[in-house]
Amino acid sequence: MAKEKETTGHWLLRVLRKNFLTGFLIIVPLAIAVWILWWLFSSVDSLLQPLIALVFKKPIPGLGLAIFLVLIYIVGFIASNYVGRKMIQSVEKLLTKVPVFRQVYIGAKQVVEGFTGAGINKAAFREVVFVEFPRKGMTTLAFITNEVIDKSGRKLYAIYIPTAPVPTSGYFEMVTEEKITHTDISVDEGIKIVISSGMILPEKVSVGKKTVQAPQSIVEMFHSTVKQQGNADDNND
């Protein structure tokens, strides 16, 4: 009888833990997405609220974002024809001559182009690679953003190492060819991996010239929490 009670209690605990983990994996990503969207909404909306308050004598929540979206569409419409595109290019060229602003603007533009698939070579993020980071023995995903040749003729890669689950912040490094591992992961897949914190992974990864199953070290590092929890439950049984 004691054994039956213990088994029932263990089963109940396992079910509760499983259901909690399932709910956690649904609610937390949803909450993060909502928080990011709310932060973007508040930030963009607040930019035009002083002007709205000046015109309408009071702030109107949401109107700033609406005006911003309309402004984006109008600029896009103007840039879609030859004359408008030349005008915008002239203004952009003038603005990029301003010290400090030029560096900030170009950097921000490249990051946006990297995530939208626009600009040079259709994306500022050219390739997804694996690098050792933040220390030897640990592997992480990175994006190649550019490449240069140093005075000795050695090729250097500019890479961007994003942080999960918000890839708009991260680290910039210059590394040599032997420090990176090329993959066949697309930029879109790479961004999904970062945003999902490794919960979305390709079944196979092509490293170099040979198509192989994803290396065990990569699997262990990026494997989903669901799989790990499932193994723990099996061991407890």
Strand partners, 181: 130
Residues 29 and 55 reside in one and the same domain = yes
Q: Are 107 and 101 in contact (CB under 8 A)?
A: no
Which residue did the predictor score with more confidence, 228 or 148?
Answer: 148
Domain of residue 108 covers 98-123
Residue 200 has pLDDT above 50, yes or no: yes
Tally of CA atoms within 13 A in the half-sphere of 181 that contains its CB: 15
Among 49, 77, 95, residue at a domain's last position: 95
Kindly state whether residue 237 falls inside one of the protein's structural domains.
no
Mean pLDDT of all residues belonging to the chain: 77
Residue 11 has pLDDT above 60, yes or no: yes
- Ranking 79-88, 114-123, 159-168, 201-210 by mean pLDDT, the lowest is 114-123
| Residue 221 pLDDT grade (very low, low, confident, very high; cuts 50, 70, 90) | low
- Residue 141: closest CA among 221, 83, 70: 221
Residues 170 and 114 reside in one and the same domain = no
Residue 141 has pLDDT above 90, yes or no: yes
Kindly state whether residue 225 falls inside one of the protein's structural domains.
yes
- For 12-65, what is each residue's pLDDT tens digit? 887 888 888 777 777 877 787 788 778 888 888 888 888 888 888 888 888 888
Residues 17 and 50 reside in one and the same domain = yes
pLDDT for the residue 131: 93
- Burial group, residue 108, by CB count within 10 angstroms (0-12, 13-18, 19+): exposed
Q: At what angle do helices 101-116 and 82-95 cross, to 10 degrees?
A: 130
Separation CA 169–CA 174 (nearest Å) = 17
- Over range 179-206, report the average pLDDT: 84
| Residue 213 pLDDT grade (very low, low, confident, very high; cuts 50, 70, 90) | very low
Q: Are 102 and 108 in contact (CB under 8 A)?
A: no
Residues 104 and 190 reside in one and the same domain = no
CA dist 36 → 19, 51, 191 (Å) = 26, 25, 16
Residue 211 has pLDDT above 70, yes or no: no
Residues 193 and 170 reside in one and the same domain = yes
| Residue 100 pLDDT grade (very low, low, confident, very high; cuts 50, 70, 90) | confident
Kindly state whether residue 191 falls inside one of the protein's structural domains.
yes
Kindly state whether residue 38 falls inside one of the protein's structural domains.
yes
- For 163-182, what is each residue's pLDDT tens digit? 887 777 789 999 998 899 99
pLDDT for the residue 218: 53
Query: What pTM does this model have?
Result: 0.46
pLDDT for the residue 191: 83
Residues 181 and 201 reside in one and the same domain = yes
Q: Tokens 């089963």 label which residue?
A: 11
- Over range 109-128, report the average pLDDT: 64
Number of compact structural domains in the chain: 3
- Ranking 91-105, 108-122, 175-189, 214-228 by mean pLDDT, the lowest is 214-228
Kindly state whether residue 217 falls inside one of the protein's structural domains.
yes
- Residue 115: closest CA among 76, 92, 143: 143
Give the dihedral sign, CA 86/88/89/94.
positive
- Residue 107: closest CA among 73, 157, 145: 145
Residues 179 and 190 reside in one and the same domain = yes
Residues 79 and 106 reside in one and the same domain = no
Residue 210 has pLDDT above 60, yes or no: no
Kindly state whether residue 145 falls inside one of the protein's structural domains.
yes
Residues 164 and 224 reside in one and the same domain = yes
Kindly state whether residue 211 falls inside one of the protein's structural domains.
yes
Rg from Cα positions in the chain: 24
- Residue 51: closest CA among 70, 31, 34, 68: 68
Residues 184 and 131 reside in one and the same domain = yes
Among 80, 95, 110, residue at a domain's last position: 95
Residues 78 and 119 reside in one and the same domain = no
Separation CA 138–CA 22 (nearest Å) = 28
Kindly state whether residue 44 falls inside one of the protein's structural domains.
yes
Residue 164: count of CB within 10 angstroms of its CB: 16
| DSSP result, 204-236 | EEEETTEEEEPPHHHHHHH--HHHHHHHHHHHH
Residues 142 and 186 reside in one and the same domain = yes
